[in-house]
Structure 1
Amino acid sequence: MDIAYVVAAALAAGILGALGPAAIARLPEPSPHPEDDPDEPPKEPYVELARRPHLAAGLALTSVLLLLVVATALDGPWLLPAWAIFAGAGSWLAWVDLRTRLLPYLLTLPLHAVCLVLVALAALLAGDLGILLKGLLGNVVVFAVFRAVYTLGRWVRQPFGFGDVRLAALVGLLLGAVGPSATLYGTYAGFVVGAVAGVVLYRTGRIGRRDPFAFGPYLVLGAFLGPPLAVLLHG
């Protein structure tokens, strides 16, 4: 792949990531839910969350690194715009979820729509309708898997919230457009990294056995690891 495309996509991802604090500060606060645990500490306001020192630089750097990781495994430049958008806005989602254990639908739904359009455009420019069809298949399959786990979680310990299900559908779209191996490894990587992080947090006393857990950051990271893992393991 031409290095110029990668540099341009990395810059776009970094700029979008740097806009994260401004976007986060404008999010409306969620309404209280009847099932909220009254003993749980109050959610950190989005405005305060956006004021963290050096947040814009941190999100920009994270976005650039994520884009560079996935760019090593893409066959051509067509999907770079979609992954750049996801790298930038995905860093916002990861930060918000890490601090609040929420994935606002006002971020996930527009991001899903934009990435769907960019995947369709990639298929058009590449002259390969299979890119879009594989993306849609990954979208449906990964969503169905996470929706099933979410539904089962109502009778056992809930592993994640419905915001993670929405985010998983987006991850499935982008990974599916790359290929089935990337979809498998990217989804699995998110589970593995999240599980390891959960064990570490529990063992160090950062969370309790039944405390809510932010799965979104690991879902995002797993998505960007999926294509390189597919190349590494399958060539």
Structure 2
Amino acid sequence: AAALRLGADWALPAFCLFFAALLAVALIDLEHFIVPNRIVFPMLAISVPLLAAASLIERDGWPLATGVLGALLASNALLLINLINPRGMGMGDVKLALLLGLFLGWLGLGHVALGLFLGFLLGAVGGILLIALGLKTRKDPVPFAPFLAAGAVTAVLVGEVLLDHYPV
């Protein structure tokens, strides 16, 4: 899927790892309600050099700069939510937002906003459905990383089309 979106881009290996990490994090969060540092931090440690190398090879530092800015914006947005309501947003989601922001920011800051918006939208719809179906109550925790991951993947794959029609 990443190859269809990026084509023969030097950032493709990093995006393939990103998609694999998102899948692993989503599945683990669904089952154990945890976003493992053992996945997020090594992914950051691998991704930054891979994306920096892609920037150097392509002689364009702008995507890396917007990626770093995206990481800071996304993680700080979720950190603010965590500080306001720690039971509503876990620190694992905040750390995952660093990774999401890095990759979505590589594509553009609009992708960061879109990915987070879609993650929150999917999380709200998913939570409402779980309650409506009687699978959860309003007091039950719902893992958020799968929704963030789905929003990020959607932003990577079709974000360009969505942002062309609905600019952020």
Please give the residue correspondences for 1:1-235 in structure 2 after superposition, counting only pairs within 5 Å: 68=1, 70-74=2-6, 77-154=9-86, 158-227=87-156, 228-234=158-164
Per the TM alignment, residue 71 of structure 1 is displaced from its structure 2 partner at its CA by 4.1
State the AA in 1 paired with 2:88: P
Gap runs ≥5 in structure 2? none
Q: Report deviation, 1:73.
A: 3.8
Structure 1 residue 230, shift from structure 2 partner: 2.9
Instruction: Name the structure, 1 or 2, with higher relative contact order (CA <8 Å, separation 6+).
Output: 2
Q: Are the equivalent residues in 2 in contact too, given 1:78–1:126 (CA < 8 A)?
A: yes
Distance 1:80 1:172 in 2: 16
1:184 Cα offset (Å): 1.4
Amino acid at match of 1:115: S
- What TM-score does the superposition give when structure 2 sets the normalisation length? 0.91
Unaligned runs of 5+ in 1: 1-67
Kindly provide the CA deviation profile for residues 1-42 of structure 1, in whole angstroms up to 9, marking residues without a partner as x.
Answer: xxxxxxxxxxxxxxxxxxxxxxxxxxxxxxxxxxxxxxxxxx
Q: Distance in 2 between matches of 1:72 and 1:146?
A: 30
Asked if 1 retains the 8 angstrom alpha-carbon contact of 2:63 and 2:107, the reply is yes
Instruction: For residue 10 of structure 2, give the secondary structure of its aligned residue in structure 1.
Output: coil
Figure out how many residues of one structure are paired with residues of the other and give that number: 164
- The C-alpha deviation readout for 1:128-174, integer Å capped at 9, x for no partner, is 011111110001111110000010004xxx32210000001110000
Counterpart Cα distance in 1 of 2:42 and 2:163:
33
Amino acid at match of 1:163: G
TM-score (norm 1): 0.66
Other structure's SS at 1:211 match: coil
Aligned-CA RMSD value? 1.6
Q: What is the identity, as a one-letter code, of the residue corresponding to 2:61?
A: L
Q: Provide the identity percentage.
A: 34
How far 1:214 sits from its partner (Å)? Answer: 0.3
